[in-house]
A and B are shown apart, each in its own frame.
Chain A
Amino acid sequence: MRREQTLADRITSSSVWRSVVRHGYPDNQRNQALIIASNVFLHIHPVKIKRYATKVTYTFCLGGLSFFMFLVLVLTGVLLMFYYIPSSDQAYQSMKDIEASVTFGQLMRNMHRWSAQGMVIAVFLHMGRVFYTGSYKPPREFNWVIGVLLLVVTFLLSFTGYLLPWDQLAYWAITVGTQIGGAAPIVGPKVDFLLKGGKEIGQPTLIRFYTLHVIFLPLIAAFLMAVHFWRIRKDGGISGPL
């Protein structure tokens, strides 16, 4: 039986539509798989998973939550960058302006702050889960190492972001933080100088931490995450009960 060709039929049979959507209606396994496999974003998730992987209480999706909060941090962070000025004269005032004079500015700042706290917690719990379920064991030992590096990058992102409001809390936290680095044997003073960009916390420190926070460390994190997610697939998918 032929039914009337609707406007939707004409759109979905056009060459523009077909150049983007390269699969038919997902009412069979082939098209269902193609939807995932032919989309750059969806293909990060596997087409098929093992039955045990649907049991949320095994992983609590802690890695996924960490990644989700990273995405929130990227989005809100980019928006904050439109108003934040990394200058020792203007940083604090621009942070106050974001809160008081920008529509949704306070929401963006608080989302950034709370997601940052949440990401540290989620990454930590994720690591604990992987440890307690023994998911670091071969063949996943290399991914455990990548994960440890990601934990360090998460801490560094958190630490570098802490200075940016340029208030008393930030100033003294970074004073303490850089002194801890300075306490290292032999290389201590060099580390201290490298972090501060000088002998005291000032404009050189702020621009160092800002650059690390908004581009250098996020790029490293994104690179490591790509390897981390790829290795999950290569090592047999999400871990499950042994």
Chain B
Amino acid sequence: MKRSGIGAIIGVAAASAVWAFGHLSSVPKAINNVVSRRNFVRNAALGAVLIVLGQLAAGFVRFFWPNKIGAFGSVLTVAASDVPEAGGQPFTYTPGKFYLVNLDEGLIALYWKCTHLGCTVPWVASEERFHCPCHGSIFFENGVKESGPAPRPLDYFPVTVMADGSVQVNTGAPTERHDFNPDQAVPYP
């Protein structure tokens, strides 16, 4: 789908390039503005070369977007045994850069990146808060800011509860929010 889109763009670009080249051409135009055979053949040949070069360039660009990336950015699974109890300490899942928190409303996976300037925000058990060491932003257990310079609550990742009690977290789709509402949490049996 994506690739055929690129192909279509190249096709259109090449066609317009052929058209433009015909108009740029300094070779005298045939009488009555009809494209001469010489121009047509020349433009067709150059256009064919342009299409091939365009495809090569597109392939060259496409090569640099791998179809597989590391753990962070993909859907990760937290084992049922690691899911915290309701009201328990957040579970830190390092490969996914998130905390899995079991609130009264259900599970929420908080992206540990501070919404201020991107530091990693640690859970400080003694304060029962997320406390950013860089500029002192403090967040409640549900990720909402208590104090500090952060402009919004911690972002969260979509959570899916599986039949066996394990939890899938899509670390490729952090969601921004300005407040906590219960819809953000997923009920956990």
Q: Which residues of A contact B (CB under 8 A)?
A: 3, 6-9, 11-12, 79, 82-83, 97, 100-105, 108
* A104 / chain B contacts, CB cutoff of 8 Å: 59, 62-63
Contact with A along B79-100 (1 / 0, CB 8 A): 0000000000000000000000
7 cross-chain pairs, A with B, having the tightest CB-CB distances, nearest first: A101-B68, A8-B26, A8-B24, A103-B62, A101-B67, A102-B66, A104-B63
With CB as the reference atom, state the residue of chain B lying closest to A11.
B24
With CB as the reference atom, state the residue of chain B lying closest to A75.
B60
* B59 / chain A contacts, CB cutoff of 8 Å: 103-104
* A11 / chain B contacts, CB cutoff of 8 Å: 24
B32 at the interface (CB under 8 A from A): no
Expressed in whole angstroms, the Cα–Cα distance for A82 and B26 within the complex equals: 43
Which of B63, B64, B65, B67 is the most central at the interface, judged by chain A CB atoms within 10 Å of its CB? B63
Which of B26, B59, B68 is the most central at the interface, judged by chain A CB atoms within 10 Å of its CB? B26
Q: Say whether chain B's binding surface is mostly helix, strand, loop, or mixed.
A: loop
30 contacts between A and B (CB under 8 A): A3-B28, A6-B24, A6-B25, A6-B26, A7-B23, A7-B24, A8-B24, A8-B25, A9-B26, A79-B60, A79-B63, A82-B63, A82-B64, A83-B66, A97-B68, A100-B68, A101-B66, A101-B67, A101-B68, A102-B63, A102-B66, A103-B59, A103-B62, A103-B63, A103-B66, A103-B67, A104-B59, A104-B62, A104-B63, A108-B63
* A101 / chain B contacts, CB cutoff of 8 Å: 66-68
Q: How many Å from the CB of A143 to the closest CB on chain B? A: 34
B25 touches A97 (CB 8 A): no
* B67 / chain A contacts, CB cutoff of 8 Å: 101-103
Contact check: which of B24, B25, B28, B65 meets A103 at CB < 8 Å?
A: B65
Q: How many Å from the CB of A29 to the closest CB on chain B? A: 22
Expressed in whole angstroms, the Cα–Cα distance for A7 and B67 within the complex equals: 44
With CB as the reference atom, state the residue of chain B lying closest to A103.
B62
* A6 / chain B contacts, CB cutoff of 8 Å: 24-26
* A12 / chain B contacts, CB cutoff of 8 Å: 26
With CB as the reference atom, state the residue of chain A lying closest to B24.
A8
Q: How many Å from the CB of A164 to the closest CB on chain B? A: 19
* B62 / chain A contacts, CB cutoff of 8 Å: 103-104
Expressed in whole angstroms, the Cα–Cα distance for A77 and B59 within the complex equals: 16
* B24 / chain A contacts, CB cutoff of 8 Å: 6-8, 11
Q: How many Å from the CB of B132 to the closest CB on chain A? A: 34
Expressed in whole angstroms, the Cα–Cα distance for A12 and B24 within the complex equals: 11
Expressed in whole angstroms, the Cα–Cα distance for A6 and B26 within the complex equals: 7
Q: How many Å from the CB of A83 to the closest CB on chain B? A: 7
* A8 / chain B contacts, CB cutoff of 8 Å: 24-26
* A79 / chain B contacts, CB cutoff of 8 Å: 60, 63
B26 touches A105 (CB 8 A): no
Which of A6, A9, A83, A101 is the most central at the interface, judged by chain B CB atoms within 10 Å of its CB? A6
* A3 / chain B contacts, CB cutoff of 8 Å: 28
Decide yes or no: A105 and B63 within 8 Å by CB, A6-B24, A8-B24 being known contacts: yes
Which of B23, B60, B66 is the most central at the interface, judged by chain A CB atoms within 10 Å of its CB? B66
Q: How many Å from the CB of A90 to the closest CB on chain B? A: 12
Expressed in whole angstroms, the Cα–Cα distance for A102 and B63 within the complex equals: 6
* B63 / chain A contacts, CB cutoff of 8 Å: 79, 82, 102-105, 108
Contact with A along B11-27 (1 / 0, CB 8 A): 00000000000011110
Expressed in whole angstroms, the Cα–Cα distance for A183 and B23 within the complex equals: 70
Q: How many Å from the CB of B53 to the closest CB on chain A? A: 14
Expressed in whole angstroms, the Cα–Cα distance for A83 and B67 within the complex equals: 12
